[in-house]
Amino acid sequence: MSLTLSEAESRRIVSSHGVVVSPFVTGRSTDEVITALADHPEVGYPVVAKLCGRAIAHKTERGLVRLQIVDEASLRSATDELLAAARPDDGDVEVLVSTMMAGNRELIVGLNDDPQFGMTIMVGVGGVLAEAIRDVSFRLVPISEADAVEMVDDLTTQSLLREFRGEPAVDRGALTDTLLALSRVATEVPGVCSADLNPLILVDGRPVAVDALLEIDGEEDSP
Amino acid sequence: MTPDLSKLFDPKGIIITGVSNHPGKFGFVTLHNLIVAGYHGALFPVGREPGEVLGRDVLGSIDDVPEGAADMVFICTPQAVNEDLLRAAAAKGVTAAFFAAAGYREAGPEGVEAERRLVTLADELGIALAGPNGQGVVSTPSSMCAQIVAPYAPAGNIAVASQSGNFVSAFLNLAHHTGVGISRAVAAGNAAVLGIADYLEWFTDDPETAVSLVYIESVDDGRAMFERLRPLAERKPIVVVKGGASAAGARAAASHTGALASDDSVFDGMCRQAGLIRARDVEEAFEAAATLATQPLPNGNRVVVVTTAGGWGVAAMDAMAGTTLHAAPLPHDLEAAVDELLPPRWSKNNPIDMAGGETRDTVPAILELAAAHPDVDAVVFLGLGIQSGTAAMMRAGEFYPEHGLERIVAFHERQDSRYAEAAAEISAETGTPIVVATELATAHPDNPGPATMRANGRVCHSSAGRAVRSLDLLARHAAWRRAREL
């Protein structure tokens, strides 16, 4: 059996291994969310609010994501609505509030346990067309820095990584650091069977994960 | 531990089972191929009917083989009798076996059981087991062609291991065609014991081998293969061509990453990580191996194209798009030096298009200038053989040898031979690879340009695109090595 950790849990784990995630707070009630936000001024408006929990896999499809929230009043009503939308079988839920990140380019980075090759790591062109374009590069975990550099070089759509629509070229060092950090997640966190950092938005050329999902071997009460 | 395959590739004597007078039978063909290729060691054909086949005495039983005279057995007999034959061979001192015989795993549940017994038996007897259901093994240092089919191959230092016998033949045929020879070649067959990784391990230690070339269709344990091949690729180049690469093979997956994974994308990443040089098809694989076997690795990706005429140079530039190669502007001192050697109509840029302005010594001189320049990592030379093409038409026409044709034909042919030799010599002297291409390599292989390349054991690519592709694979491998300080 495997279980999917909540976005908040996933973010904490990947972040503790060096993946840069958008600043966020969580709370189980609207008041908790507002208090947490006051304690974390780095999470600035506009924000996005999401209902998250281990049993909630498809937040967007269920309308559990609220974008472009600009002030506290809107955040309060959004949080109230999200908590009210929770169903009994969603289990433990909380609201995650994170800064909206601005960037035109999206990548996807992830882990996948391959039946032939074991744990693999991937970088690819993200966004809604990702599965149509399939511009991806895989390696076997763990990777070295040279491997990470070559993974990025192997992407066909290099033009996306250069200066683009007024945004600077991707910081390749920061991108390879993200790959190395996720490789460490695979080797250091027991029982990881998959991970998605999707999307990884390029903010001024630097990759920032605005969603994270980690799938772990084991039962509901772990890790 | 690396199994000792020295008796499989360089046996002092070979027992061949199943030899009869029937020239269509595998035993006969194998004996024939071994004799014709000039095998250095002793041959012990064994068959049910004693007598003479191809001038050799056929023994009625392996028991008649002198003790210790053979260390390899080549099995072409029906599955049911082979376990006894293997025991008898082992008793005579045999430690390696190639099983061409079929009737094993490929033949249904009974065959699976027979193969399982065979594996156990070989292990008990301490025999290195190749096959079963394989076409054979070739080893040019021993002039050995132990195969149930053709061809043999010229000697050289490419070692082949293949999960398909057809592709062993294909690579050996390409060795004939290009003149770039083979050290060892083996068809893995069912690979009951010895698999591709085992052969690669042995090739990497083999002083007769400079580069390994493998055809893979299926991978059982990809991770184990990766772990074994990576340290080998650091020591000696391995070129891989994979069958079944187009199979979608997308996995059912909950994660987006899983949905984006396919057999081929993961295999490709594994190759890049392990330093395996992956080619798209058999021809590209062979040409990359042939280039690796005969040329230095480039120190970088800056390429100068040298051509006797325009269009080829353009084709080479086009082919470089989408590769790691870079046709940099000509360094000023190189441009100035070339300018001294050519009439003013030359291109004055990269490609160096001589626009037909070359005289007797121009081509070797320009190749030397380009290859020796510190800002040039590789050279592509195009247009070899064009003058000999004209010469061939003159030679065949009714005016030959009058009207001064004899002299000019000889001059043209000599020049193209010289260019082919210069390309080889200059790349060896300078440590800069020089790849050469002309369609004459296939259209008119006897043209003195490509013919001299072949005689000197260097590949002459049949198009600029293919030369560029081989060079790109070399450059990528060199970059892989540099990134790891190898």
- Domain containing residue B402: CATH number: 3.40.50.261
Residues A116 and A205 in one domain: yes
The distance of A129 to chain B (nearest Cα, Å) reads: 12
Residue A56 in tokens? 């909630």
Q: Does B266 touch chain A (CB under 8 A)?
A: yes
- Of A48-52, A74-78, A162-166, B422-426, the range with the lowest mean pLDDT is A162-166
Helices B405-430, B386-396: axis angle to 10 degrees equals 160
CATH number at residue A193: 3.30.470.20
CB A194 within 8 A of CB A181: no
- Model confidence over B264-297: pLDDT tens digits? 899 999 999 999 999 999 999 999 999 999 999 9
- Substitution target in B217, B234, B256 with the highest count of A β-carbons within 10 Å is B256
- Substitution target in A2, A106, A138 with the highest count of B β-carbons within 10 Å is A138
Number of domains, chain A:
2
Give domain status of residue A6, yes or no. no
Q: Compute CA distances B395 → B403, B410, B419, whole Å.
A: 12, 10, 21
Separation of alpha carbons B479 and B298, rounded Å: 9
Residues A82 and A120 in one domain: no
Q: Compute CA distances B412 → A70, B160, B408, whole Å.
A: 80, 38, 6
The distance of B393 to chain A (nearest Cα, Å) reads: 46
Separation of alpha carbons B391 and B481, rounded Å: 45
Give domain status of residue A5, yes or no. no
Domain of B66, in residue numbers: 6-292
Separation of alpha carbons A21 and A210, rounded Å: 6
Residues B181 and B258 in one domain: yes
Per-residue pLDDT band for B485 (boundaries 50, 70, 90) equals very high
Contact at CB, B257 and A122, closer than 8 angstroms: yes
Residues B417 and B309 in one domain: yes
Q: Which among A139, A154, A196 is the nearest to B257, CB-wise?
A: A196
Residues A87 and A67 in one domain: yes
From chain A, the residues in CB contact with B323 under 8 A are none
Q: Which among B223, B262, B263 is the nearest to A118, CB-wise?
A: B223
Per-residue pLDDT band for B439 (boundaries 50, 70, 90) equals very high
Residues A94 and A39 in one domain: yes
Last residue of a domain, one of B242, B265, B292: B292
Last residue of a domain, one of A99, A114, A139: A99
- The SS3 assignment for B279 reads strand
Give domain status of residue A10, yes or no. no
Separation of alpha carbons B134 and A182, rounded Å: 44
Other C-beta atoms lying within 10 Å of the C-beta of residue B361: 13
CB B58 within 8 A of CB B22: no
From chain A, the residues in CB contact with B251 under 8 A are 112, 114-115
Give domain status of residue A199, yes or no. yes
Per-residue pLDDT band for A62 (boundaries 50, 70, 90) equals confident
CB A186 within 8 A of CB A142: yes
From chain B, the residues in CB contact with A108 under 8 A are 256-257, 260
Contact at CB, A112 and B269, closer than 8 angstroms: no
Closest-CA residue of B relative to A111 is B257
Phi, psi angle pair for B238, to nearest 5°: -125, 120
Residues B233 and B180 in one domain: yes
Mean pLDDT rounded to a whole number for chain B: 95
Q: Does B255 touch chain A (CB under 8 A)?
A: yes
At B349 the pLDDT is 94
Contact at CB, A117 and B254, closer than 8 angstroms: no
- Model confidence over B231-270: pLDDT tens digits? 999 999 999 999 876 554 444 566 888 888 888 899 999 9
DSSP B232: H
Residues A179 and A145 in one domain: yes
From chain B, the residues in CB contact with A134 under 8 A are 260, 262, 265
- Model confidence over B106-117: pLDDT tens digits? 999 999 999 999
From chain B, the residues in CB contact with A131 under 8 A are 256, 259-260
Domain of A43, in residue numbers: 23-99
Give domain status of residue B1, yes or no. no
Contact at CB, B258 and A151, closer than 8 angstroms: no
Residue B346 in tokens? 């030359």
Last residue of a domain, one of B277, B292, B307: B292
Other C-beta atoms lying within 10 Å of the C-beta of residue A88: 5
Q: Compute CA distances B9 → B14, B27, B174, B175, B391, whole Å.
A: 11, 19, 21, 19, 45
CATH number at residue A63: 3.30.1490.20
Residues B375 and B257 in one domain: no
From chain A, the residues in CB contact with B484 under 8 A are 144, 146
Average pLDDT for residues A153-160, to the nearest whole number?
A: 94
CB B154 within 8 A of CB B290: no
Average pLDDT for residues B422-448, to the nearest whole number?
A: 97
Contact at CB, A120 and B223, closer than 8 angstroms: no
- Model confidence over B87-140: pLDDT tens digits? 999 999 999 999 999 999 999 999 999 999 999 999 999 999 999 999 999 999
Number of domains, chain B:
2
Residues A126 and A164 in one domain: yes
**Could you tell me which of B212, B348, B229 has the C-alpha nearest to residue B286?**
B212
Separation of alpha carbons B185 and B153, rounded Å: 9
Residues A31 and A128 in one domain: no
Q: Which among B222, B260, B268 is the nearest to A130, CB-wise?
A: B260
Q: Does B244 touch chain A (CB under 8 A)?
A: no
Burial of B388 (0-12, 13-18, 19+ CB in 10 A): buried
Give domain status of residue A14, yes or no. no
Residues B138 and B87 in one domain: yes
Separation of alpha carbons B338 and B350, rounded Å: 11
Residues B199 and B50 in one domain: yes
- Model confidence over B188-220: pLDDT tens digits? 999 999 999 999 999 999 999 999 999 999 888
CB A209 within 8 A of CB A195: no
- Substitution target in B229, B257, B477 with the highest count of A β-carbons within 10 Å is B257
Q: Looking at B275-341, list the stretches that DSSP marks H as alpha helix, in order from N- to C-terminal side.
A: 282-294, 310-320, 332-339
At B247 the pLDDT is 53
Residues B72 and B209 in one domain: yes
Give domain status of residue B245, yes or no. yes
Q: Which among B219, B273, B483 is the nearest to A116, CB-wise?
A: B219
Last residue of a domain, one of A35, A69, A99: A99
* Percent of chain B with pLDDT strictly greater than 90: 91
Q: Which among A4, A112, A134 is the nearest to B258, CB-wise?
A: A112
Residues B172 and B249 in one domain: yes
Per-residue pLDDT band for B2 (boundaries 50, 70, 90) equals low
DSSP A6: P
Residues A66 and A93 in one domain: yes
Residues A68 and A113 in one domain: no
- Model confidence over A196-223: pLDDT tens digits? 999 999 999 999 999 999 999 876 554 4
ipTM summary value: 0.94
Residue B202 in tokens? 């042995």
Residues B396 and B335 in one domain: yes
